[in-house]
Amino acid sequence: MPNDDIIFAPASGQGGAISIVRISGEGCLAMLDSVVSLRHGTIAEAPGFSLRFGVIPGLDEVLVSVFRAPKSYTGEDMAELSCHASQYILSELMGRLSEAGGRVAEAGEFTQRAFLNGKMDLAQAEAVADIISSDSLAQHRVAFNQLRGGYS
C-alpha cells in the first residue's frame, strides 16, 4: 500500500438514503475539483472543517466535508462526499474518482495512514477494526475503551 496515493472508499453501510465516500491523500482536494463543481470557490481553497454544497455534473448533488492536514482522521488532507445512496450513483462516483487519479483504498488503509501519521497508536488502530466487527455490547465496550486509549 503506497502511502502517497490519493485513496477513496465508501465509508457508510448500505441500506440508507445517503452514502458517504471518504477521500484522503496529498492533492485529494484539488483532485475533487475535477469531479465536483461548487457554486462558489473550489474545494482546494476551502478551509478545514467546512461544508460545501456541490454538484457532480450529470450525476448528483453532494455535500463536501473538508478536513485539512494534520487535523483529519488520517493526518492528511481529506474529504467526505455525501451523496444519494443509489448503487448507480456510487458506482459512477467511484469511477470518476478513479479517472481523476485516485484509487480504491484497501481494507484498513485509512486507519493505517492514521497510524503511520501518528494520529493513533497500534492498540487504537486495532480497536477500530474491533469496533467495526463487534457483535455485542461487551465487545463494543472493550474495543471503544481501547480506542479511547484505555490500553495505550
pLDDT digits (tens, 9 = 90+) for 68-92: 999 999 999 999 999 999 999 999 9
Domains of the chain: 7-109 (3.30.1360.120), 120-147 (no CATH)
Cis bond leading into 2, ω under 30°? Answer: no
3-state secondary structure of 149: coil
C-alpha cell at 129: 477494526
Q: What is the pLDDT of residues 1-59, one digit of tens each?
A: 567 899 999 999 888 999 999 999 999 999 999 999 999 999 999 999 999 999 999 99
d(CA 54, CA 40): 9
Cα separation, 26 vs 78, in Å, equals 8
Q: What does the DSSP assignment read for 116-129? A: HTTSS-HHHHHHHH
Where would I find the H helices in 15-151? 28-32, 87-99, 109-116, 122-133, 137-147
pLDDT at 63 over 80: yes
| Cβ-count burial 121-146 (b if 16+ within 10 Å, e if not) | eeebbbbbeeeeebeeeeeeebbeeb
Q: Give the pLDDT confidence of 102-111 residue by residue, as tens digits.
A: 999 999 999 9
111-133 per-position pLDDT tens digit: 999 999 999 999 999 999 999 99
